[in-house]
Each structure stands twice: as C-alpha cells, then as structure tokens.
Amino acid sequence: MRAVVQRVTQASCTVDDQITGAIDNGFLVLLGIEDADTKEDLDWLAQKIANMRVFGDENDLMNKSLTDIDGNILLISQFTLFAATKKGNRPGFTRAARPDKAIPLYEEMIKQLSTLINKEVQCGIFGADMKISLLNDGPVTIIMDTKDKENH
C-alpha cells in the first residue's frame, strides 16, 4: 500500500457535481492498493497515519497528531500511485489491485481510521472520476509505502 498524506486546512471530493466528502483541519490521504497488500499492511499503515505527529504544538513544532488536534481525514482511493513509468511515456498500472481485492481493503481502511481517530472518515467514491480540492498546510506532504515497514 502506498499513501500520500497531505496536511490540509480544508479538502473536499466532488463526484458528478456532488460533494462526497469534505474536511477542515486534518489529512487528505490518497491511498493506492496493490495485489500484494495484506491486512498486516493495512493495520500498519492505518496506525502510522492516525498517529503521525505533524501538527504544530504551542511552540510551532510538529509534535501533535490528528487526535491531539481533533483532526479529520478525507480518504481517496488512487490506483495511479502504483504507476509503472520505467518504459515509454504511457504509465502502466498492472501492480494496482483489481477492484475485487482493492475495495474490501479500502473499506477496511475507512473503518480502521475511523476507529483510530474516533470520528467518521470522509471519502471519495471508489473508481469514480473524482475532483479533489485541497489547501495544503505548510506544505506538509508525506509519502508512505508499506514495503518500507520492514526497514524501520
């Protein structure tokens, strides 16, 4: 799994001119799921996202987590995070999980993050043509890959 986590002061997702999810302070999380991903990957990544300390404390140091600031999450599925760009100019997406595998993991990520931050996670619509609007705060953008969990 790959996640691009952006600290935002606001973010929203629109599908067919309808807002499907919107947040103020918190994280916009773009989530890519590949065939090799497991429940263990999901558990690790959910914990990392929920507990990441990148929000300012009283000294403006990045020491606070989402729960510390009562922050929110907008979770967007994004298979293009697994684009293969080594050959040619047209990316390939063969590493991205097919919907029958990706949707259950995406839905489980929504549940886990909701439990971890103790509030409803806002979402896009899996597989839809989504328009994402955000105001990146900082900017702070963190890229995480569950393949890295073995190395740290």
Q: Which domain holds residue 28?
A: 2-146
The answer to the question of residue 126 being in a domain is: yes
Establish if 151 belongs to a structural domain: no
pLDDT for residue 152 is more than 70: no
Computed on alpha carbons and rounded to an integer, the radius of gyration of the chain in Å comes to 15
pLDDT beyond 70 at 17: yes
Burial of residue 102 (number of CB atoms within 10 Å: 0-12, 13-18, 19+): buried
What's the pLDDT at 112? 98
The answer as to whether 152 is a domain residue is: no
* 118 lies in some domain: yes
Residue 61 lies in a domain: yes
**Domain for residue 95, yes or no?**
yes
Other Cβ atoms within 10 Å of 72 Cβ, number: 22
Q: What is the pTM of this model?
A: 0.94
115 three-class SS: helix
Q: What is the pLDDT of residue 151?
A: 59
Q: Which tokens is 125 given?
A: 């619509």
State how far the Cα of 46 lies from the Cα of 3, in Å rounded to an integer.
10
pLDDT digits (tens, 9 = 90+) for 36-82: 999 999 999 999 999 999 999 999 999 999 999 999 999 999 998 99
| Active site (catalytic) residues | 80
- Is 34 a residue whose pLDDT tops 70? yes
What total of structural domains would you count in the chain?
A: 1
What pLDDT, on the 0 to 100 scale, is given for residue 30? Answer: 98
- Cβ proximity of 37 and 105 under 8 Å: yes
Q: How far are the Cα atoms of 38, 41, 116 from residue 50, in angstroms, in the given order?
A: 19, 14, 6
